[in-house]
Amino acid sequence: MDFELPEEMRMLQDMAHKFAQAEIAPIAEECDKEERYTPEIRKKGAENGLVCAWVPEEYGGSGVGILGNALVTEQVSRVDMGVGLNVVAAGFGCEAIYYFGTEEQKKKYLPPVCRGDQVSAGAYTEPNAGTDVAGYGTRAVKDGSDYIINGSKMFITNGTVCDWMVCQCITNPDAKTHHKFSQTIVPSDTPGITRTKIHGKMGIRASDTAEIFLEDVRVPQENLIGEEGKGFHQLMHFFDITRIMVAAQALGISQGCLDEAVKYSKERTAFGKPLGAFQITMQKLTEMAIRVEALRNLVYKAAWSVDSGHPDFHLGAMAKYYGGQTAVFCANAAVEIHGGYGYIEEYKVQKWYRDAKILELYEGTKEAEIMTIGKVLQSR
């Protein structure tokens, strides 16, 4: 059993970290304050092969697989999760096209995103249905050779900046729940689409998040991804993959919090000794380090299982569940170690504290992960 990353993966990891330090770190605080999306960083990331790094080279990606993409996600999130999302989530929705789309769709839509020329989005969540994906209500009705789409979507990453989105719609309302839905590609400039940026988020404020309304939006039926009625299963597969990436985000921000807490504990003195010399500080740092290392193994193994051709999405759900908890724990501990200074914007940890909470919420709440893991355990 070999726990060492291959040399090419270590090189990718190192390059992603250096990119994040050079390009993301200097602007992270400003982008957080201004809620500013960063297309220039996305473009630079694409030039370095960091956008959709998992996509095979034949479609414009770096071909480093899910593990390689997890390493990239970890390293940019270690520096800043908000701006980092503009790089690693620029291809949200591409998963559906790669795994279920036609060859023509793959060649048309994937390369421009990998190059950084376009941005995609996954238009899934709705105002009244998040974790309850069977409760989505957006409808797509056939009209000649087109679909007419009506509905609304909520909390859509890249919502106001995307060039196209993969939209989850009901196409067979009379079918059983798991066969009602289909996924279709919707260009963002199609008449009838209204996109509104969501302001005032607690964290990841540099990442674009939007509410989207679709009113009599007409798209050709050739934009259908895969077979009609397979959208529910396609969406579950999307979450199986992206939950590993969310766990990698959690790993990155947790490692960043640990790094900053260790650094501060060496510099700060209290009662004539470095803060790190006190047992209570050692305990906090130790618990952080143990959780980070455990999470790292979960993330890497879940990603490796997909690349090896034997995906264990049970592990992915575990990584997502434990990742959110670890990120929140480490961010909280880092703030506590910094004391009053951890509560002011001069120090990174207050921002990471705000960023971390979303990791327990999006791509499936921690409660949803419990249900996923529990069902697998009960089926054995």
Look up residue 364 and give its amino acid. Answer: G
Measure the CA angle with vertex 31, ends 29 and 32; round to 5°.
65
Give the integer Cα–Cα distance in Å for 359 and 353. 11
Give the integer Cα–Cα distance in Å for 77 and 351. 12
115's tokens? 């190059």
Q: Are 275 and 352 in contact (CB under 8 A)?
A: no
Phi-psi region at 272: left, alpha or beta (left = phi > 0; alpha = psi -120 to 50): left
Give the integer Cα–Cα distance in Å for 24 and 82. 10
Q: Are 170 and 181 in contact (CB under 8 A)?
A: yes
Other Cβ atoms within 10 Å of 192 Cβ, number = 15
CB-based burial, 60-69: b 16+ in 10 Å, e otherwise = bbbebbbbbb
Give the integer Cα–Cα distance in Å for 55 and 64. 7
Nearest to 360 by CA among 329, 328, 315, 317: 328
Q: Are 166 and 159 in contact (CB under 8 A)?
A: no
Q: What is the 3-state secondary structure (H, E, C) of 159-176?
A: CCCCCEEEEEEECCCCCC
The sign of the CA dihedral 346, 349, 355, 361 is negative
Give the integer Cα–Cα distance in Å for 362 and 371. 15
Other Cβ atoms within 10 Å of 308 Cβ, number = 12
Q: What are phi and psi of 182, to 5 degrees?
A: -140, 165
Report the catalytic residues. 363
Measure the CA angle with vertex 351, ends 13 and 289; round to 5°.
50
